Structure 1
């Protein structure tokens, strides 16, 4: 719930979407369904969170980057690297 709220609040702040404009899908995966190197680049990635956001073309790249930065900042507040 905290992750969902952090992402939604970032969208409200950066994209200025209405607070009730929420559509989120969380899909847990079993072991082996997502393949990745758990230590690539010297970073521990054994606990992996993938966030995929689909947006319409009206949002410029600069705004999309700002949204990403805001999501990262809010997740860091939750202790998620």
Structure 2
């Protein structure tokens, strides 16, 4: 059960934001074994002064169009799966909305299964 948080600078139309969410979900299901309908996402827009992404860290030239995608998910995926996800998402966003690959910042946060409750005050995975 991934929980996806997508952050970007305000001003993009709803279709753009929806396309990002769709591409994240597509990349998760195709590379990280995320099941169908396991889609929980929050998209937040920020004023330019409230969204800081260093424009040159690690030699990667980022623009103001940078999008930060943070995903909390169950621990256990190997490095190859994660790399495949990073590539699939960057490629998918580039192909669909023209977002530069350099402007796709991804962070995975792995947690144990007992850290989830999908509702009813129950830890469904334990």
TM-score after normalising by structure 1: 0.82
**In the alignment, what sits opposite 1:71?**
89
Q: Which moved more, 1:4-13 or 1:59-68?
A: 59-68
Q: Where is the strand percentage greater, Structure 1 or Structure 2?
A: 2
Structure 1 gaps of 5+ residues are: none
Query: 1:4-44 CA distances to partner (integer Å, 9 max, x unpaired)?
Result: 11110111111222220001111111121123444x35835
**SS of the residue 1:21 aligns to:** coil
User: Gapped runs of 5+ residues in structure 2?
Assistant: 1-17, 101-126
Q: Which has the larger radius of gyration?
A: 2
Question: 1:16 maps to which residue?
Answer: 33
Q: Distance in 1 between matches of 2:93 and 2:60?
A: 21
Q: How many residues align?
A: 80
Per the alignment, residue 66 of structure 2 pairs with 48
TM-score for the superposition, normalised by structure 2: 0.56
Q: CA RMSD in A?
A: 1.8
| Greater RCO (Cα-Cα under 8 Å, separation 6 or more) | 1
